[in-house]
Structure formats: structure tokens, C-alpha cells
Structure 1
């Protein structure tokens, strides 16, 4: 193992303290749904920022793997640590906040599955994202949830590889698990387009 890889293994790309800080912000926000039942304003943005923070931590790990600084196995270990923090059961805060956190965690299941699929190269670069979305929806319709998630993971891996998940495709996806998981893939895509900072070789992450 190289010194760079050893240093990365001991670096916390995301911490339980960081996650707790976000949860404390949610508590302080006294978040409530507006009549539209959509998250509004600064309070609603907290959940978006929580998800983005985790996605960027995952993308930093992927970037180190892409640069050959860490192995796929070690990247998976680092990713697993973040997943355990983000998907752990959260103490109830309020009905509205709890619904948002549950939705956020469901979305992140898609994000983590995508990163894992990318690291294991368990996807075909020739596959069409739009075709895979149809396969995922068909699987969900047949209550084959494992196949649905595995297919969403492939979609995410292709997005990480540089493929596009179009807004038009997302608009046609009915609400359900696949839609929520694809929201996590959309967050990956948005983070990749929004900034290249996660690709920089740095170890200093500021807490939220």
C-alpha cells in the first residue's frame, strides 16, 4: 500500500459529527411543509445541502479511485463508513422533518448503490440510461425491488462515467422508490456539473 493510499484510508471524508451537525440544524429550523407540500425556503434547503454534502464526500472517494490513489476495495470501505452514518436510524424530530429525512435517506440509497456499482465495474458502458430507467420501473412494478435498485445503480454508474440523465426522462418517472433513488443519481449528476473541487487532491474538509 502506498503512503498516499494509507493516508486516504485514515482520512475521514465524512464524520458522524458532521451528520449530527446537520441534524441539529434541522431541529433548529423547525421545518414545516407549506401548503404545496414541497420544501420551501432556507429551511427546506437544509435537506438539499445535507444530501449534497454527502454526495461530495462520496465523489471525493471516487476521484481518488479514478486517479489510482486507492483501490476499489479500499474505496468501498470508505464509502461504507459514510453509508453507515447517513443511513442510520434518526431519532424523531417532527413529523414533517422526519418525512424529509426519510426521503433524503431513500434518495441516498440510490447514490450509494451507484458508487458501489461504479467501483465494482458491474455495468455495461454501452447500455442506454433511458432504457435502464424503463427496466427499473418495470422491476418496481413487478415488486422486484432488488432488480430495480440494481438497475438504478447501473444508471448511476453510467452517470459517474459521464453519461447524461435527462430532465425529460426524470419528468416521466412516476413517484415511487425508483423515482426517489433516481433523485440520488440526479444529485450526483448535479454535483459533478456544479464543481470540479471534489477532484482536487486535498484532505482538509471543513465541517458544515
Structure 2
């Protein structure tokens, strides 16, 4: 196996996004602010999609793919330094959405595709687990749904339309970013 030429994601890239957030007036109700947060999330999902693709194409083995994911996860899920509590909360929301992206990718590489049921059924079971306050099970089930998304099954976001906002809806939001990244892994410029 030849080492890939590119770095999948860097701490500098993540910091560039955080610097943009620091510099801008962020209002989640504002379309531009919402777009910036979504781009931040999508950018990480694209990096994860590239690792998955490199793994599936045989360019990197499972161990290297897992290490790459761990490196990105460490950067992205570390506590950012913000003086602004509101911005910190918004970044935390993005990080929460990405937790399931990482778990799904790791599960896919380590164990393959969860094949007991459909994406939708896994998500609904995760919603039930969250309502019973079994968050580990909820995350596990959402990650199972994520492995199916990675495998090409479509995640229809209407599955969570009537679900009360919570961790599962955040995680599914992350899977939606991953689904988009897998279908169109165009790099989002962090400096536009």
C-alpha cells in the first residue's frame, strides 16, 4: 500500500474555521451564520468520507484508516477556546453531530456494515433508546445507521421530522453531512 499524498485533515484547518467563528457575529437564526456552522461540520464529514473512500479503494488499510479517524477526532472534539459562551455552545452542537460520524466510520472499518435492519429502523430504535435515557445504546444504534449510510443506503431526514430535538437528532444531522460528503466530496474552502 502506498501512503496517500494528502493529509486528510489538519489541526490548522480546524483552527482556521474556529478563527472565522471568533471573528464573525454569529446568529444561528441568520442564514450566513447557519451556513458557516454547516460548512464547518461538512468540511470534517468530507475528510471522514475521504478516509473511508481511501480505505474502500485499498489505498490505506484498516489500521491506518482508524488512526487517521482518531487523529481527526482528537482535533475536532477537543474543547475549543472561546470567550463567547454562545459560540462555544454552537461549536459544541457541531461537535456533537460529528461524534456519530466518527463512531460510524470506525464501526464500518472495524466491523463492516450493520445488517440487522434499515437506516430508518436503526434511527427509530436509537430515538427509543434515548427516550429511555440509554445514551450509549442510542449512539450505538445511530452509528449502525451510519454504517449503512456509508454503504450507500439513503438516509431520509424525514425520519426525524417528528422527533423531539436531542442527541439522536444531532447525530442524525451529522450522518446527513456524511451522506452528502460521500456523494459529493467537494472540499469546502475554509477561507472564503
The 1:196/1:90 distance shift into structure 2, 3 A limit, reads: closer
CA distance in structure 2 between the aligned counterparts of 1:102 and 1:144, rounded to whole angstroms: 21
Quick check: 44-53 or 79-88, which moved more?
Answer: 44-53
Unaligned runs of 5+ residues in structure 1 are: 199-204
Choose which of 26, 33, 46 in structure 2 pairs with 1:31: 26
56-65 or 124-133, which moves further after superposition?
124-133
From the superposition, tell whether residues 168 and 86 of structure 1 become closer, same or farther in structure 2 (CA, over 3 Å): same
Instruction: Report if the CA contact (8 A) 1:32-1:96 is conserved.
Output: no
Change (3 A) 1:190 1:206: closer
Q: Name 2:156's counterpart in structure 1.
A: 166
Query: Once the 2 structures are TM-superposed, how far is the Cα of residue 122 of structure 1 from its aligned partner?
Result: 4.8
With over 3 angstroms needed to count, the CA separation of the structure-2 counterparts of 1:62 and 1:207, relative to structure 1, is: same
Q: Bigger radius of gyration, 1 or 2?
A: 1
RMSD between aligned alpha carbons?
A: 2.0
Q: 1:201 — aligned with what?
A: none
Separation in structure 1 between the aligned mates of residue 146 and residue 21 of structure 2, nearest angstrom: 28
TM-score, normalised with respect to structure 1: 0.84
Distance 1:102 1:187, change over 3 A: same
* Paired residues of 2:99 and 2:171 also in contact (CA < 8 A): yes
Q: How many residues align?
A: 191
The answer to whether 1:179 aligns with 2:169 is yes
Query: Per the alignment, in what secondary structure is the counterpart of residue 162 of structure 1?
Result: coil
Q: Equivalents in 2 of 1:49, 1:93: separation in Å? A: 22
Distance 1:206 1:185, change over 3 A: closer
For 2:7, the equivalent position in structure 1 comes to: 12
| Aligned-residue offset at 1:131 | 1.4
Answer yes or no: is the 8 Å Cα contact 1:32–1:97 preserved in 2.
Answer: no
1:147 is aligned to 137
Which of these residues, 47, 55, 61, is aligned with residue 51 of structure 2? 61
Task: Give the deviation of 1:12 after TM superposition.
Answer: 2.2
TM-score after normalising by structure 2: 0.91
Structure 2: unaligned runs, 5 residues or longer: none
CA distance in structure 2 between the aligned counterparts of 1:207 and 1:44, rounded to whole angstroms = 15
Structure 1: 4+ residue segments shifted above 4 A? 205-208
